[in-house]
Chains A and B, each alone.
Chain A
Amino acid sequence: MDFTLDEEQKEIRDWVRTFVRKEIIPLEPEVLRRERANQPGLPAEELEALQQKAKKAGFWGLLTPTEYGGMGLGAVMTALIEAELGRSFVQFRFGGYADNILFHGNAEQKERYLLPTISGERKSCFAITEPGAGSDAKAIRTSARKEGNEWVINGEKTFITGGNEADFVMVFAVTDKEKGANGGVTCFLVDRDMGWKSEPIPTMGQWGPAALVFDNVRVPEENVLGEIGHGFTLAMQWIGAGRYMLPARAIGSVERLVEMAIEQANTRVTFGQPIAEYQAIQWMIADSAVEIEALRWLVLHAAWLVDQGQDSRQAQSMAKLYGGVKANEIVDRVLQIHGGMGYTRELPIERWYRELRLLRIYEGTDEIQRRTIARNLLKGHAKVSGSLG
């Protein structure tokens, strides 16, 4: 048993922590000002400049294999890095990333889609969710029918992260209605200039997804990713690969929020003493610290299982569920400790409050995670505490 990080892990984590402190956090006031003026908080060119700066220090393609110029880091290291990035609400991410399923493409697809995505020349988005198919992803109705050497795609996708900026989409469509999700869904790589349209969806947070419309979009047959009919497996692979990353990022957010709460508690004076001296305030801080610690180990345990090549689905669902629930409870306490100021736009807490709410919804709602966890136990796919000893 060893809960410690090795020297290399600490070194990488510390570098990212310093990068966030020196390069990202100072941008926050300006990012906040822009967002509140309905402009992009971190415009693409500024994000790219930061990514290039990080690249010079070797931070490029955290999960991208080294033969593609990436760092080929493991899941534990990636989780630790995400937690550091989560310390700022500025939506920074390191460059050199590409969706895991793009690595399944053939040589030509890799040339046209994977490599330019890694280099940042092209931007991808992943489209499975539809107005009538969210948690129940198997209910998708977007269809693709074969006409000669082409597929013709019709349908609507919604809540597509990156859909407004992407220049190609990995879209999932039904190619065999009889088989449905069991062998009747196929994934297509579709360039924007093939004719699909996107429309931004305003949300309560800064996450700005898109609705996509496919109206007789013609796609050459060589743009099928993987095999015809195997799309649903790819989709699950995409969703399952990084479920631990969302709660990992939340660790950093709630750590920073609780640090703000501690600072506020020690400086804000009421009835002649700092509010930190009131037990009610200390309880909120203590509860938050305990839950952050529990979250940290649930996330790192899930990531560790990924690195071991063991079945991590149960642990990832646990980490995602717990992270979503607890991050929301913690940001609420932190807002409470800040009182009226926490409710204003003077501070970024309300922004975080809105943003963290999403964590309980996307990439598997709380309810879907609970269903997965309970089913795994009841069907014997996971034993009680089976992956712990």
Chain B
Amino acid sequence: MDLRLSDEHQQLKELAHRFTEERIVPFAMRWDRDEAIDRALVPRLGEVGFLGLGIDEEYGGSGGDNLAYCLVLEEIARGDSAVRGIISVSLGLVGKTIFKHGTEEQRKQWLPGICAGTQLGCFGLTEPETGSDAGSLATKAERDGDDWLLTGRKVFITNGTWADVALVFARTGGPGPKGITAFLVPTDSDGFQATEIHGKLGMRGQATAELVLDRVRVPDSARLGEEGTGFKLAMAALDRGRMSVAAGCVGAARGALEASLKYAKEREQFGKPIAGFQLVQELLADMAVETDAARLLTWRVADLADRGEPFRTEASMAKLYASEAAVRVANNAIQVFGGYGYIDEYPVGKFLRDTRVTTLYEGTTQIQKLLIGRALTGVNAF
């Protein structure tokens, strides 16, 4: 057992820290109000290699292991979870799925752009009627000669209006998970329409969209993996995705704690800094314990993944714990800030709004509990 970071990991973490301080922190509040980050940031993320982590250099990637990925995501999320989410989706869910399961042609077509940040990917699994029950999705893909015609609706799709490629999961066979196939759909295809969803509670800097596919034609070469394996690909992507969400939650929790510590030392009431009151210290101490525990659970997943060992249940545990902890920590931070935490001049309200979605997406807290419960008891309670 050795819980030290290597020099290489430490340097990467510092690079991500500087990048976040210089290019994200000063702007995060404005992006949140504007409901969009400055999109020029995306190629900048590509230039420093943050959009190519885990992808081989021959496809434009920057290499690195899962721990490296987690370290970068923590730092970025400390500044703005919306930016972290753009990476998690474009690189984590789409890029890495292409890298692991795509053909040589598909890798060459999409990965250089995704890694450089000149192109973005989105992940089209959720539909209006199927959230947690993704295996029942209704979007159809039908054969038409050598091509496929895709028709259906996808909702809550991060990067949806900005993406160049959509990884779309559609039904090609019978009902249930085994009838689903994955396709790489260029978003400029005829019949593909993306509409941004406004008014989100948090993660406002990223574009979340509804996708409508109306007989969108793609060649068979756009199929990712074998027919009927789409659901498996989606679940594998989400296993890794859960680790990345967990890493992001650790960053957001840390950001909220750091802001709270600073504020508690400055803010005076009853003639002394509120940091001197035990009830404030209780909030701070609990925040610190939960943040460290969440990080250890997350790094544990990265370590398993980097050793090529199974990590599915551990990823569920890390995601469940880190997301719930981040919401609690951010909520505690608002309590420390009082009324000032309730307005967006200070960062802590944003931490709560941004983290709130992490207990919902990529498998709700309830789904994680069922997955973990099933792994422990052998009984399926879905």
Contacts and interface: CB of A to CB of B under 8 A. Distances in A.
Interface of A: 1-6, 9, 76, 258, 262, 265-266, 274, 276-279, 281-283, 285-287, 289-291, 293-295, 297-298, 300-301, 304, 315, 318, 321-322, 367, 369-371, 373-375, 377-378, 384-385, 388-389
A385 B320 CA distance: 20
B215 interface: no
A276 B281 contact: no
Interface in B348-382: 366, 368-370, 372-374, 376-381
Contacts of B269: none
B40 interface: no
B281 A371 contact: yes
A371 B282 CA distance: 7
Contacts of B286: 370
B304 A3 contact: yes
A318 B289 contact: yes
Q: What range describes how many residues of B lie at the interface?
A: 35 or more
Interface string B272-287: 0001001011101110
B1 A388 contact: no
Contact of B285 (A281, A291, A321, A388): A321
Across the A-B interface, the 5 shortest Cβ-Cβ residue pairs: A282-B373, A374-B281, A297-B296, A370-B285, A286-B372
Interface stretch (B2-10, B139-147, B185-193): B2-10
A360 B375 CA distance: 30
A133 B186 CA distance: 72
Given A1-B2, A318-B289, A389-B13, 12 more contacts: A1-B3, A1-B6, A277-B381, A282-B369, A295-B293, A298-B292, A298-B296, A300-B1, A375-B281, A377-B285, A384-B254, A388-B295
Given A2-B303, A373-B285, A290 B372 contact: yes
A3 B285 CA distance: 25
A6 B377 CA distance: 29
A243 to B, nearest CB: 14
B71 interface: yes
B376 A294 contact: no
Contacts of A276: 373, 377, 379, 381
Given A2-B2, A304-B1, A321-B285, A286 B369 contact: yes
Contacts of A378: 261, 264-265, 275, 281, 284
A389 B71 contact: yes
Interface of B: 1-6, 9-10, 13, 67, 71, 254, 257-258, 261, 264-265, 275, 278, 280-282, 284-286, 288-289, 291-297, 299-300, 302-304, 306-307, 314, 317, 320-321, 366, 368-370, 372-374, 376-381
A1 B4 contact: yes
Contacts of B368: 286
B299 to A, nearest CB: 6
Given A374-B285, A388-B296, A389-B5, A286 B373 contact: yes
Given A1-B303, A286-B372, A289-B376, A318 B288 contact: yes
Contact of A297 (B281, B282, B293): B293
Contacts of A300: 1
A322 B293 contact: yes
B4 A294 contact: no
Contacts of A9: 1
A2 B4 CA distance: 8
Contact of B317 (A289, A301, A304): A289
A200 B366 CA distance: 48
A44 B307 CA distance: 46
Given A3-B304, A388-B3, A318 B379 contact: no
B261 A377 contact: yes
Contact of A266 (B285, B294, B377): B377
A5 B293 contact: no
Contacts of B374: 282
23 contacts: A1-B5, A2-B1, A3-B300, A6-B1, A262-B376, A262-B377, A265-B377, A276-B379, A277-B381, A282-B369, A282-B373, A286-B320, A289-B376, A290-B297, A293-B314, A293-B321, A301-B292, A373-B285, A374-B282, A374-B284, A378-B281, A378-B284, A384-B258
A322 B285 CA distance: 11
A294 to B, nearest CB: 4
Contacts of B254: 384-385
A283 B369 contact: yes
B25 to A, nearest CB: 16
B248 to A, nearest CB: 15
A386 to B, nearest CB: 10
A274 B284 contact: no
A291 B381 CA distance: 21
Contacts of B2: 1-2, 304
B289 A373 contact: yes
B314 A373 contact: no
Nearest to A2: B2
A389 B289 contact: no
Contacts of B5: 1, 389
Contact of B297 (A277, A283, A297, A385): A297
A3 B299 contact: yes
A388 B292 contact: yes
Contacts of A282: 369-370, 373-374, 377, 379, 381
A298 B296 CA distance: 7
A76 B1 contact: yes
B294 to A, nearest CB: 8
A379 to B, nearest CB: 9
B328 to A, nearest CB: 13
Nearest to A288: B376
Contact of A294 (B275, B278, B297): B297
Contacts of A388: 3, 292, 295-296, 299
Nearest to B299: A1
Contacts of A322: 289, 293
Contacts of A265: 377, 379
B260 to A, nearest CB: 10
A119 to B, nearest CB: 32
A377 B10 CA distance: 22
